Amino acid sequence: MRIIPAIDIIDGKCVRLEQGMYSKKTVYDQSPLEVAKAYEDHGIKFLHLVDLDGARSGRIVNHKILESICSKTSLEVDFGGGLKRKEDVKVAFDSGAQKITGGSVAVKNKQLFLAWLEQYGADRIVLGADCKNRMIASQGWTEKSSLDVVEFISAYVAQGISQVICTDIAKDGMLQGPSIELYKEILAKTKIQLVASGGVSSVQDLLHLKSIGCEAAIIGKAIYEGKIQLKELSALC
């Protein structure tokens, strides 16, 4: 299973939110690049970089940070946040992203998201399925929908999507464990490479996610809070 640390950016700094609420923001580091280098130094190969400024504003904002990390580390970066136009996706890839994750655009502009899938391929376009109480949320998790997460994913799998990052918003930043039962259901009902996100608080959580068949797991707050040490992740990479 791939181990993917997350760096979420607001105002150029590494932050974490609780349950996606911008009002519950904690700043952990001033330099996303230095954090990324620390991950690389411990043998980590992947990074999930989220432009929270972009997610809130509806346009890519922190592409310079993306470019810096991609040019100064060997990390394979998946980038998300604020990708609403084809120009935004081009900027992300030109800045060095290996993959991009589309969440809100997949909810609000299916035709455009499928056009990206056709142009760049399923190995570079990842579906972001962010949900709370099973319902898909968008716009930096500020807008709820009536779309069930499993049905949402299944519909896109039928269109050619093969990679999905599924975040249970209620779990995100809470350090109370991931949504194991939800992920089991998704894996039972779809054939996808599932990346679990939200709630990881220990190495045991990672091993549990691996045991049920998750292709990867994203870790954020657990690293910043010292619940998981980088040397422990080195042993898993």
**Contact of 20 with 137, CB cutoff 8 Å:** yes
Nearest-angstrom CA–CA distance, 126 and 163? 5
- Token pair, residue 105, equals 């655009």
Nearest-angstrom CA–CA distance, 69 and 73? 6
8 is a catalytic site residue: yes
**Helix (H/G/I), strand (E/B), else coil: 216:** strand
**Contact of 147 with 133, CB cutoff 8 Å:** no
Angle at 32 between CA 232 and CA 171, to 5 degrees: 60
130 is a catalytic site residue: yes
Using the structure block, give the residue that is written with the tokens 């990672």. 206
- Please provide the distance, in angstroms rounded to a whole number, between the alpha carbons at the two ends of the chain: 8
Distances (CA, A) of 156 to 91, 153, 165, 173: 24, 5, 13, 27
Name the catalytic one among 53, 130, 168, 205: 130
5: nearest Cα among 203, 222, 168, 176: 222
237: nearest Cα among 7, 44, 73, 74: 44
Catalytic residue set = 8, 130
